[in-house]
Amino acid sequence: MNKRIFLSPPHLGLEEFSLVTEAFASNWIAPLGPHVDAFEKEVAGYLGLADGVALNSGTSAIHLGLKLLDVNRDDTVFCSSFTFVGSANPILYEGAKPVFIDSEPGNWNMSVSALALALEDSARNNRLPKAIVVASLYGQSADFPSLQEVASRYEVPIIEDAAESLGATFHGKKSGSFGQLSILSFNGNKIITTSGGGMLLGNDAKLLEKARFWSTQARDPAPHYQHSEVGYNYRLSNVLAAIGRGQMRILDQRVIQRRGVYERYAQAFSDIEGFEGMPEASGAVSSRWLSVFTIDPSKLSIMPIQLIEKLALHNIEARLIWKPLHLQPLFKNVPYYRHEGADSFCDKLFEYGLCLPSGSALTMEEQDLVIEVVRENLLASCQRGVRHGRPITSEPLSQNV
């Protein structure tokens, strides 16, 4: 049996080890240290932002971002429905009430028209949200200029969840540089990693200083330990920041490698009708963090979970795409705004989408094996004929490519 092919394993470069060794040699094993400061400057510099606060996860970054925007008990926060639960859990930490927004077909991220409708309703009911958490999924930026145009009519700030999209651009501007505040994740499966970590970024350095204060147990400036506010133990350690600095140096290369994997799959499946890659919106350059494809059930008679099981027989890890948050038991009865019409768009993505192995270190042989197994099963499914008659969307998914 071949070596296991993982979905998105960490991929370290040559410099991380020497930077970590340096952290050991200088005895900066204690949480704070020079690598943390340098990592913050380097990431903020890459995104062209004033400042960043290095934290122990992307989820902590969203939590402190919501606190900076004064989200309190019973406040409303809008959030993408089609995302990982880490985008929305912090809303619950603060006792606030989420409202979920559907995705749009062109980029799979928050629907501009659904957001407009939700804001209109909430303005009418005098319950405008304190913040909107917008996720950019699988390496592709949401349409922030349009979302911001709508949100700014009501003066509601956006937290940009760029946990999955570092390295991508939209009309030349870097993903992670759009929101009033933005967050990144350096979890082990993301495009670059510190094994675990995150960052909260923005252009208001004074505001971010407050997040830094909260992230280190909210210690008042005093010679003794004094606290007048609730604090958190959310800071990134110096050793992990050293890894992050090494990873930042190879980020652009990782984007090229991930895009290469996606292109190779897309080419190899281009003759199979009904198996489409995630569209790349006009003006967008996706990092293709994960290579995602959808099955059109009117053309192919195999479901994503069946294809995943077939790949598993070859020791290949593939996954279903995010289950929308409005369908999660945790969020039952949470209000949800669909993208136009009667059908929820992200429900269909969930039903018919899957992620193929996408690591930047995947060898050509490994990609070939994935391609072979996928092709074999899709072609067999064509021959069996179509059992489900429903098309995935009224228009083809690739309409905006």
Give residues in contact with ligand PLP (CB under 6 A): 57-59, 83-84, 86-87, 135, 161, 163-164, 185, 187, 198
CA 244, 245, 250: angle at the middle one, nearest 5?
90
- Which CB atom, from 136 or from 180, has the smaller least distance to ligand PLP? 136
Closest distance of CB 133 from ligand PLP, Å: 9
Closest distance of CB 5 from ligand PLP, Å: 21
Rounded distance, CA 201 to CA 207, Å? 10
SS3 letters across 82-142: CCCHHHCHHHHHCCCEEEEECECCCCCCECHHHHHHHHHHHHHCCCCCCEEEEECHHHCCC
181-185 and 158-161 beta bridge pairing: parallel
Closest distance of CB 86 from ligand PLP, Å: 3
Closest distance of CB 342 from ligand PLP, Å: 27
Rounded distance, CA 63 to CA 299, Å? 43
- Which CB atom, from 219 or from 323, has the smaller least distance to ligand PLP? 323
- Coil, helix or strand at residue 240: helix
Region of 95 (left: φ > 0; alpha: ψ -120 to 50; beta: rest) is left
- Which CB atom, from 7 or from 268, has the smaller least distance to ligand PLP? 7
Which phi and psi angles does 99 have, rounded to 5°?
Answer: -130, 130
Strands annotated E in 149-282: 158-161, 169-170, 173-174, 181-185, 198-202, 275-277
- Which CB atom, from 109 or from 367, has the smaller least distance to ligand PLP? 109
Closest distance of CB 321 from ligand PLP, Å: 12
Closest distance of CB 291 from ligand PLP, Å: 15
Return the residue nearest ligand PLP (CB atom): 58
Residue matched to tokens 């009309």? 171
- Which CB atom, from 79 or from 115, has the smaller least distance to ligand PLP? 79
Count of residues in the chain: 401
Closest distance of CB 381 from ligand PLP, Å: 30
- Which CB atom, from 31 or from 391, has the smaller least distance to ligand PLP? 31
Closest distance of CB 60 from ligand PLP, Å: 7
- Which CB atom, from 83 or from 107, has the smaller least distance to ligand PLP? 83
Closest distance of CB 252 from ligand PLP, Å: 20
Closest distance of CB 16 from ligand PLP, Å: 18
- Within a 10 A sphere around the Cβ of 31, how many other Cβ atoms? 16
- Which CB atom, from 241 or from 378, has the smaller least distance to ligand PLP? 241
Largest CA distance in the chain: 76
- Which CB atom, from 354 or from 373, has the smaller least distance to ligand PLP? 354
- Which CB atom, from 57 or from 111, has the smaller least distance to ligand PLP? 57
Q: Which two tokens stand for residue 215?
A: 């992230």
Structural contact between residues 356 and 295, judged by C-beta atoms closer than 8 angstroms: no
Q: Which two tokens stand for residue 358?
A: 């996408």
The contacts of residue 23 (CB under 8 Å, 6+ apart) are 29, 33, 35, 238, 239, 242
